[in-house]
């Protein structure tokens, strides 16, 4: 099977590592890719937001399967264009991708499916902002009602900070979503979804704030671990039965069945799981940890989802133990990152590339905010953390920073339901 992966982050590098291990995968291509993916696949400098360009590339490399990593091409209908060209594609069409692309759409689907989520209001008129803010608090959750790569979300107990963020979004023409704050530890549960068939992966937890102990601004994700020692299997089953399956069924009922990876981001509160957000693709950096433990052939699972045969896929098999991803971010991330620095240690084991590129003489340079995703595995969370941080010790990138506490609260038994 010839596979083309779309995207250039740590998630796509992890997908390529998994695909390269699948004996049914003969040939790997990626667009645009990064310095790390170049050693596993052929990188193609193609605009992945352009459906005609992606279709042309898929035809040129005779792809049997296209796997779309990021949300932007999905929301723009690149999967629809590939399917119309007769190419099996992992990733939802534009309408089902609205589960991530429009928070208002996601709320409507959840209401129809009877799924618990935060109370929310959309504000698109600055004159209504103050009255709307008064209906929320004492913790305000202010989101961009569109794609914002996690960075558009502000969670704060400071009303003035909430107001400033909302006003800034409105000034730039973005409707604002205000939400009630959901308490409780967060879980990311990914599922392969093919219409009403749902095959869950193992639950993971992201760390969204930039600093240790969940301080500083939100980011696209600074690290993750899996599995979650504090999450009972009964709660995972509840998430699948009460959240993922009803949403998949509702999308199918609307005539826009989901095909691909449905990411449920949840808070597990006193009354059980409630949805913080849905995403229409693999999460980053949870994917790097989750796929590190997958023993089943990844290409066959993605292909079964893409070809509508997920119900015939043998049960997924997982390695025992744990996996941890720690993101190495560029100086100033999540603000405008410093780029263009040479990285030492970028080709070591467990070092996945996110924002990197090769210069003309083959040196690996930083080229984005989240630069590397370093993965450790081990018999348990302590061992996986130790390996991830050992690996990070071998990396040199001027000005870079990473969290030192990924998975630490779970390890120390400080997360409970």
Interface residues with ligand GLY (CB under 6 A) are 150, 206, 221, 279, 283-284, 286
Least distance to ligand GLY, CB of residue 38, Å? 23
Nearer to ligand GLY, 297 or 355 (CB): 355
Residue 188 Cβ vs ligand GLY, minimum distance, rounded to whole Å: 6
In the bound state with ligand GLY, the residue whose beta carbon lies nearer, of 15 and 364, is 15
- Residue nearer to ligand GLY on the CB measure, 12 or 286: 286
Query: Which CB, 284 or 341, lies closer to ligand GLY?
Result: 284
CA 95 to chain centre: 19
Choose between 313 and 388: whose C-beta lies nearer to ligand GLY. 388
Q: How far is residue 286's CA from residue 92's CA, in Å, rounded to a whole number?
A: 20
Q: Is the dihedral of CA 198, 200, 201, 205 positive or negative?
A: positive
Least distance from ligand GLY to the Cβ atom of residue 160, Å: 27
Nearest to ligand GLY of 203, 297 (CB atom): 203
In the complex, least distance from residue 223 CB atom to ligand GLY, rounded to whole angstroms: 10
Least Å distance, CB 84 to ligand GLY, is 28
Q: Toward ligand GLY, which CB reaches closer, 63 or 204?
A: 204
- Using the minimum distance from each CB to ligand GLY, give the nearer residue, 260 or 297: 260
Cα separation, 213 vs 143, whole angstroms = 22
In sequence order, the β-bridge partners of residue 188 are 204, 265
CA dist 81 to 74, 86, 148, 202, Å?
Answer: 10, 9, 24, 31
Minimum Å gap between C-beta 283 and ligand GLY is 3
Ramachandran assignment for 246, one of left (phi > 0), alpha (psi -120 to 50 degrees), beta (any other): alpha
Collect all residues with Cβ–Cβ distance below 8 Å to 158 and sequence separation of at least 6. Answer: none
Q: What is d(CA 318, CA 137) in angstroms, rounded to the nearest whole number?
A: 41
Residue 67 host element (H or E) = strand 65-68
* The pair of three-digit structure tokens given for residue 66, joined into one six-digit string: 């296209």
Rounded Cα distance between 45 and 399, Å, is 28
Q: Which residue is nearest to ligand GLY (CB)?
A: 283
CB of 206 to ligand GLY, least distance (A): 4
Q: Where are the beta strands (DSSP E) in 298-410?
A: 322-329, 351-353, 356-358, 364-366, 370-378
The first and second tokens of residue 136, run together, are 């929320």
Minimum CB separation of residue 326 from ligand GLY in Å reads: 14
To ligand GLY, the closest distance from the beta carbon of 118 in angstroms equals 17
Nearer to ligand GLY, 140 or 190 (CB): 190
The half-sphere exposure of 78 on its side-chain side, counting CA atoms within 13 A, is: 29
What kind and span of H or E run contains 177?
strand 176-179
Residues 278/265, Cβ–Cβ less than 8 Å: yes
Residue 272's DSSP bridge partners are 269
């Amino acid at each position: 099977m010839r596979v083309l992966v779309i995207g250039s982050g740590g998630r796509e590098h992890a997908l390529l590592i998994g695909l390269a291990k699948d004996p049914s995968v003969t040939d790997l291509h990626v667009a645009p890719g990064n310095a790390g993916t170049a050693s596993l696949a052929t990188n193609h400098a193609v605009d992945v937001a352009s459906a005609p360009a992606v279709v042309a590339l898929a035809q040129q490399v005779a792809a049997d399967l296209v796997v779309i990593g990021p949300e932007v091409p999905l929301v723009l209908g690149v999967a629809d264009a590939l399917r119309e060209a007769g190419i099996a594609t992992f990733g939802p069409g534009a309408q089902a991708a609205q589960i991530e692309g429009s928070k208002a759409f996601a709320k409507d689907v959840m209401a129809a499916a009877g799924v618990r989520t935060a109370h929310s209001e959309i504000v698109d008129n600055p004159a209504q902002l103050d009255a709307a803010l008064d209906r929320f608090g004492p913790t305000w959750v202010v989101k961009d009602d569109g794609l914002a790569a996690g960075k558009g979300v502000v969670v704060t107990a400071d009303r003035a900070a909430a107001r400033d963020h909302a006003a800034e979004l409105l000034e730039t023409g973005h409707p604002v979503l205000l939400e009630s704050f959901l308490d409780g530890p967060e879980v990311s549960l990914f599922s392969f979804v093919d219409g009403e068939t749902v095959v869950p992966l193992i639950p993971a937890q992201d760390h969204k704030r930039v600093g240790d102990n969940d301080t500083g601004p939100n980011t696209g994700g600074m690290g993750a671990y899996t599995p979650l020692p504090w999450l009972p299997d009964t709660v995972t089953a509840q998430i699948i039965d009460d959240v993922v399956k009803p949403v998949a069924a509702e999308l199918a009922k609307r005539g826009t069945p989901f095909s691909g990876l449905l990411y449920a981001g949840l808070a597990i509160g006193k009354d059980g799981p409630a949805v913080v957000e849905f995403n229409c693709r693999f999460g980053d950096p949870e994917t790097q940890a989750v796929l590190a433990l997958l023993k089943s052939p990844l290409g066959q699972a993605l292909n079964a989802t893409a070809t509508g045969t997920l119900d015939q896929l043998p049960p997924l098999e997982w390695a025992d133990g744990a996996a941890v991803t720690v993101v190495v971010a560029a100086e100033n991330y999540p603000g405008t990152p410093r780029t263009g620095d040479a990285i030492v240690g970028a080709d070591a084991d467990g070092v996945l590339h996110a924002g990197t590129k090769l210069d003309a003489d083959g040196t690996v340079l930083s080229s984005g905010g989240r630069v590397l995703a370093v993965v450790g595995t081990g018999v348990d969370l302590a061992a996986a953390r130790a390996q991830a941080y050992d690996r990070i010790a071998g990396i040199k990138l001027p000005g870079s920073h990473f969290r030192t506490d990924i998975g630490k609260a779970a390890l120390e038994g400080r997360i409970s339901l």
